[in-house]
Amino acid sequence: MAIDTYIMGLFRSEDQAVAAVHDLKNSQWTLHRTHSPIPSRKLSEALDLKTSKVGWYTLCGGIFGFFAGFALAIFTAERWDLIVSGKPIRALVPFVIVGFEFTVLFAIFGNLIGFLTQTRLPRMQNLDHYDERCSGAHFGVLASCASGQQDGLTDLFRKNGGDVRVFDDQTATNER
């Protein structure tokens, strides 16, 4: 069974990375992922990324918070159900403030939980096949090929103007 070799193309420009992604999609090699120092709309379009579903977590959190805020305020008011000046025990108008604040608070919690679960963060171990230049000025495109086909993949990246890094299991070598 052939062992895959992982190779990353490192590009100075977003457009070069996008071109490499398009070329890879039309090639025999497997595109795994991209890394970029900034969120890139062009890369997202090239990769045909769908819209994140994290908003559903946010929505669920917000709905829960809305009811939790009202429920807490009503529950605490009913623990001391002494009518003062004819005012209602369940004073819904002032409870809107508690409901609103809880809506925002729990929506944010949902937002964050959605983000962490969708991205599988936190992840403290070093990520395999990651190049630290990708957090600086380079756009990284990671692809793999069967052993012995490295030259073709390397040429693809070079043709698009990139540097190349070959990952040999945990050991990486740089080729310029």
The residues of the shown chain that bind another protein, judged by CB under 8 A, are: 14, 33-41, 43-44, 47, 49, 51-52, 54-55, 58, 62, 72-73, 75-77, 79-80, 87, 91, 94-95, 97-98, 100-102, 104-105, 107-108, 111-112, 114-115, 118-119, 121-125, 127, 130, 132-137
Closer of 132 and 151 to another protein (Cβ)? 132
The number of beta carbons lying within 10 Å of the beta carbon of residue 154 is: 19
Exposed/middle/buried for 47, CB within 10 Å: 0-12, 13-18, 19+? middle
Q: Considering beta carbons, is residue 3 or 49 the nearer one to another protein?
A: 49
The torsion defined by the Cα of 82, 88, 91 and 94, in degrees rounded to 10, comes to -90
Closest distance of CB 28 from another protein, Å = 22
CB closer to another protein out of 112 and 146: 112
Give the residue from 5, 26, 19, 2 showing the smallest Cα distance to 141.
Answer: 19
Query: Shortest gap between Cβ of 14 and another protein (angstroms)?
Result: 6
Q: Which burial class, exposed, middle or buried, applies to 72 when counting CB atoms under 10 A from its CB (0-12, 13-18, 19+)?
A: middle
Residue the block writes with tokens 């809107």: 96
What's the min distance (Å) between Cβ of 129 and another protein? 10
Query: For another protein, which is the closer residue by CB, 1 or 176?
Result: 176
Query: Hey, what amino acid is at 32?
Result: H
AA identity, residue 107 = A
**Minimal distance in Å, beta carbon 2 to another protein?**
25
